[in-house]
């Protein structure tokens, strides 16, 4: 592919090159050209490198939880921050970010979600598993569950709700009441069915015994850099873990659920 230009995202560049004093992280001890080291010393972590057009070396990594990419010039004296386009306007950077940064992050997150405190919604025999962070008070979680119902009722998807409590004062107590119920799946359904009337009634005794389980989910959500519910992880047609933060649009549901609407 012919190299045309490198486009800089001002917001990313401003963050990466800000003059704020930061201590050098441990991973910065690895030897890098001085131009790259300038970014590392300002908080950019490096997750991978690749050969780029024009004799450049591509780098991908993270800055404050955001994926970033930059290119080291062939003389190793300069870095250019942002995506690279070819002569056809194709973004050469995004696939590398997906491959080297977002893909591994999402795969790791999937394993963490498997071991988190979740409530199954749907048949245990359903061939498709979808994880979603659910706050009992979240109207968008409620609507997402309504949209997913055809797949759940058809036995095609099990929606695993990772219960969190972040939106309102009683979100954590409600989430703990659901997690600690004798029949968590039924308690989840009760909250869904009663959502317009305020949701499930809090059981203080259950909350006392299960609050830490919800707090662990809250911490997991925060560690993944997520700030909205629902936030949903699913596998696409290639088996790659994808993440959707916020309520999916109607046109996205089939991709998340894995099949056409039943």
Beta strand 128-134 with 157-163 is parallel
Residues 6+ apart with CB under 8 A from 65: 225
Binned at pLDDT 50, 70 and 90, residue 35 comes out as very high
Binned at pLDDT 50, 70 and 90, residue 65 comes out as confident
Give the residue-averaged pLDDT of 9-25. 37
| Cα-only R_g, the chain | 22
Residues 160, 130, 253, CA angle at the centre, nearest 5°? 125
Binned at pLDDT 50, 70 and 90, residue 21 comes out as very low
Give the residue-averaged pLDDT of 188-205. 96
Lowest mean pLDDT among 56-65, 86-95, 111-120, 134-143: 56-65
Q: For residue 241, give the nearest of 105, 118, 132 by alpha carbon.
A: 105
Q: Which residue has the higher pLDDT, 22 or 247?
A: 247
Give the residue-averaged pLDDT of 29-45. 88
Residues 6+ apart with CB under 8 A from 165: 135, 136, 171, 172, 173, 174, 175, 176, 214, 218
Q: How far apart are CA 183 and CA 114, in angstroms?
A: 19
Query: What 8-state DSSP symbol labels residue 91?
Result: B
- Which residues are 133's β-sheet partners? 162, 231
Q: What is the pLDDT of residue 195?
A: 95
Mean pLDDT over the full length of the chain: 89
Q: What is the pLDDT of residue 239?
A: 94
pLDDT at 14 exceeding the cut of 70: no
Binned at pLDDT 50, 70 and 90, residue 208 comes out as very high
Strands (E) across the chain are located at 3-6, 44-51, 57-63, 66-72, 79-81, 84-86, 118-121, 128-134, 157-163, 231-235, 241-245
Give the residue-averaged pLDDT of 79-93. 93
Give the residue-averaged pLDDT of 211-227. 96
Q: Is 31 exposed, middle or buried (0-12, 13-18, 19+ CB in 10 A)?
A: exposed
Lowest mean pLDDT among 29-33, 135-139, 167-171, 233-237: 29-33
Q: What is the pLDDT of residue 30?
A: 62
Give the residue-averaged pLDDT of 160-167. 98
Residues 6+ apart with CB under 8 A from 143: 247
Query: What 8-state DSSP symbol labels residue 122?
Result: S
Q: For residue 225, give the nearest of 110, 30, 65, 45 by alpha carbon.
A: 65
Residue 145: how many other CB atoms lie within 10 Å = 22
Read off the tokens for 257.
């659920």
pLDDT above 70 covers a percentage of the chain that reads 89
Read off the tokens for 241.
């873990």
pLDDT at 163 exceeding the cut of 80: yes
Give the residue-averaged pLDDT of 138-149. 97
């Amino acid at each position: 592919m012919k190299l045309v230009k490198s486009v800089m995202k001002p917001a990313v560049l401003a963050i990466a090159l800000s003059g704020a004093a930061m201590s050098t992280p441990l991973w910065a001890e690895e030897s890098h050209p001085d131009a790259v080291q300038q970014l590392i010393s300002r908080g950019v972590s490096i997750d991978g490198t690749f050969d780029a057009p024009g004799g450049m070396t591509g780098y991908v990594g993270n800055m404050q939880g955001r994926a970033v990419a930059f290119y080291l010039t062939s003389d190793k004296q300069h870095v250019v921050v942002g995506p690279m386009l070819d002569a056809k306007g194709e973004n050469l950077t995004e696939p590398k970010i997906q491959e080297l940064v977002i893909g591994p992050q999402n795969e790791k997150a999937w394993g963490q979600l498997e071991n988190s405190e979740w409530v199954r919604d749907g048949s245990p025999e359903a061939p498709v598993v979808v994880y979603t962070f659910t706050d009992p008070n979240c109207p968008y979680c409620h609507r997402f569950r309504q949209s997913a119902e055809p797949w759940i009722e058809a036995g095609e998807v099990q929606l695993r709700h990772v219960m969190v409590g972040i939106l309102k004062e009683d979100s954590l107590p409600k989430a703990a009441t659901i997690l600690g119920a004798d029949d968590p799946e039924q308690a989840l359904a009760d909250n869904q069915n009663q959502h317009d009337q305020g949701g499930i009634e809090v059981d203080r005794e259950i909350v006392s015994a299960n609050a830490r389980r919800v707090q662990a989910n809250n911490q997991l959500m925060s560690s993944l850099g997520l700030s909205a519910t629902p936030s949903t992880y699913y596998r696409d047609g290639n088996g790659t873990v994808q993440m959707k933060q916020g309520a999916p649009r109607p046109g996205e549901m089939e991709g998340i659920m894995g099949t056409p609407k039943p």
